[in-house]
Amino acid sequence: MPDPTLQSHVQLGRHPEHPDAVTATITGSDTYAARALLSVRGFRPTGDQTMILARIDHEEPYYADRAAHALREAGVTVEVTPVLQQDIEAEWTWADYPMHWLNREEIREVSDAAQKIHDDIVSGRLVIHAHAHDGWTHVAVGTYRDGDSIHLHGEDHLRQVALTYDTPTEAIAEFQKLYGEAVRPGPAPTTETEQRAAEALATTTTAAPPSARPELAPAPQRLAVETVPVHAADAGDHEALLHDFLASHADWEKVRTGDENTTVVSHESLTLRALFDYDAAGRDIKWTFAAYETPVSDLLWHGTATASTPAQIVGTLLNTITSENAWGYGPSTSITETAIAKATRPLTDAGWKHTIDGRYITWQAPGTHAAGVQFDAFAAQQPNSPLSTWTLWGGHADHQPNWALHLSAKAPTALLQNLTFEMAHGQGLRPPSRSTRPTLTAAAPLPPTIPPPSNAVRAR
C-alpha cells in the first residue's frame, strides 16, 4: 500500500541538451523513496533534486515508463512531459539489426545485458585487461572484481559475453592466442554512444518547478570530465550511494539516532552497522563502520571514510561487508604475513612498489596521481586501540591526503583485498579543472561513536 504521508513529485522529461537522455526532477518534503526507486532503475544523481537516465541502447523512454509505474505504485506523484510520453508510445525498430530472428522484447533483453556490461566497466566492477579488433568489431578480455574472467564481443547494445574463464591468467592467455598482434592493453576506445551517455551523466542541472517543461528549460551547464584512476576521482554523491545501497539490500535498514544530521544503517543480524554524517565535508569523517561477532559482543573491527573519499571506493566497502566474510578475524587471531600479502596482492600485481619505514609498510601508486595503502605494524598489535592499522589514501601525501579510508586491526582480509583491487584497477571521473589540494587541518576529527547493537531501536 502506498504511504499516505509520502509527499513527493517527480517530473520526467527529455534532457534539453542530450535528446536521448531522460531527466527526473524531484520535489517535495520527502524525496528519499523517489530517489531510491529511480536509482535502482538506472537514474543517476546530477543535482540536489535532479537525476538523469542515459543508456547505450537508446531505450530510455521504455525504462523511464517502467520507473514511472514503480513510482506511482509507491504513492509518488509522477508527471511525464508530452514529448517524452510521445516517445514512450512510439514504436521503433533497430535498422539492420544483425540478430534479425529476435522479436522486440528479445532484442530489448540483449540490449539490457549489454547495458549491464557497460555499467560494470564504468563502475570498475569489471576490469578490462586488453582489447582487439577482429576485423568486424571490438573484442575484449576482462575480470569481474568479485567473479569470473570473460571474453567480450561487440560494441554498445550488441556487446555480449562470449566466453567465461576461472582465472584471469587463463582468459588473457587464450585472448592473446586468438587475436595475436591485434591485442592492445586496456579497454577499447569509447564509442560515440558511450561518449554521449557519459556527457549526459556529467552535466549538472537545476530543479525546475513541476509545472515547467524540461524540453523548454535552459540547457544545463556542461562539465568537462576526464577518466582517472579511481583513487584520483571526484568524491561523487555519497548520499545517493547510501540511498542506492539501502534500496538494493533489503536486509539493511535505518535505525533511529535522535540526530537529524546523521543516519545509522544496520544489518538485520545487528552485527554490522554504518553511521552516515550528512554535514561532513572535505576531510571530515562521512562514514563510520563497525562490526561485532554477536549483537551483544565487543567491537570486532571498525573503520572510517572521509567525505572526500571517492564514492566507488566506499561502495566497494559496502558491497563487501554484505557477504558472509564480513566478520574477518576471530577475537584472538593476529595478523600474519600471509594475510598481509593476500590483502595487498592486487597492488603488487599492478606494479605498486612498497617501502618499509619503521613500523609502517607503504604501497605507492605508480603514475602521476599520488595514492597509497599503508599498514601500521604497531597498531596491528593493538586490536582494541583506536589507531588505524590500514590506511588507504589519495592525493598529496600520506600524512596530508585529499581523502582517507581507515580500518582497524581485525578488518577482514577479503575486504582489504577488494579495496586494494579497486585502488589498483578502478577508474573514475573528475573535472580536470577541479582543485585537488585539500584544506589542511592539524588532525582529522575523531570518528563518531556508533551505538552498540544491543541498544538499537529499529525505525518504523
pLDDT digits (tens, 9 = 90+) for 237-280: 898 889 888 888 888 888 866 677 889 999 988 889 999 999 89
Answer yes or no: do 244 and 123 share one domain. Answer: no
Residue 111 is assigned to a structural domain of this protein: yes
pLDDT tens per residue across all 460 residues of the chain = 444 444 789 999 998 888 789 999 998 877 788 888 888 888 888 877 889 999 988 889 999 999 999 899 888 899 999 989 988 888 777 766 778 788 888 888 999 999 999 988 888 889 999 999 988 889 999 999 878 899 999 999 999 999 999 999 999 999 999 998 888 888 888 888 888 888 888 765 444 444 443 443 433 444 445 678 899 988 988 988 898 888 888 888 888 666 778 899 999 888 899 999 998 988 899 999 998 888 888 888 899 999 999 999 999 999 888 865 555 544 445 688 888 999 999 999 889 999 999 899 999 999 888 999 999 999 998 766 778 999 999 987 667 789 999 999 889 888 999 899 999 988 887 765 433 333 333 334 445 556 555 444 333 2
Q: Is residue 41 part of a domain?
A: no
Q: Domain check: are 262 and 361 in the same one?
A: yes
Q: Give counts: helices (H), strands (E), the chain.
A: 11, 22
Domain co-membership, 433 together with 304:
yes
Residue 389 domain-assigned (yes or no)? yes
pLDDT tens digit string along 387-411?
899 999 998 766 778 999 999 988 9
DSSP state of 308: T
Q: Is residue 319 included in any domain, yes or no?
A: yes
Residue 222 counted as domain residue: no
Among the candidates 158, 191, 224, a domain finishes at 191
- Supply the pLDDT for residue 204: 55
In 169-258 the beta strands, taken as DSSP E runs, fall at: 184-185, 226-229, 252-255
**For the chain, how many structural domains are there in total?**
2
| Domain co-membership, 134 together with 257 | no
Residue 134 burial (CB count, 10 A): 11
Please tell me whether residues 345 and 447 are part of one structural domain: yes
Co-location of 303 and 374 in the same domain: yes
- What does the DSSP 8-state code read for residue 102? S
Domain range enclosing 296: 238-455
Rounded Cα–Cα distance for residues 27 and 30 (Å): 8
| Final residue in a domain of this structure, among 156, 191, 226 | 191
Q: Does 314 reside within a domain?
A: yes
* Domain limit, last residue, from 159, 191, 223: 191
Grid cell 531510491 in the structure block, residue: 36
Which pTM does this prediction carry?
Answer: 0.52
pLDDT for position 140: 94
Question: Within this chain, do residues 255 and 388 fall inside the same structural domain, yes or no?
Answer: yes
Would residue 290 count as lying in a domain? Answer: yes
88 found inside a domain: no
Q: Are residues 323 and 445 in the same domain?
A: yes
**Which DSSP symbol is given to 204?**
B
Q: Based on the domain organization, do 268 and 416 belong to the same domain? A: yes
Note whether 170 and 280 are same-domain residues.
Answer: no
Residues 272 and 402 both lie in one domain: yes
User: Hunting for cell 561523487 — which residue is that?
Assistant: 236
Closest CA to 146 of 162, 164, 125: 125
Is 408 found in the same domain as 305?
yes
Q: State how far the Cα of 243 lies from the Cα of 38, in Å rounded to an integer.
A: 10
Give me the pLDDT at residue 326, please: 56
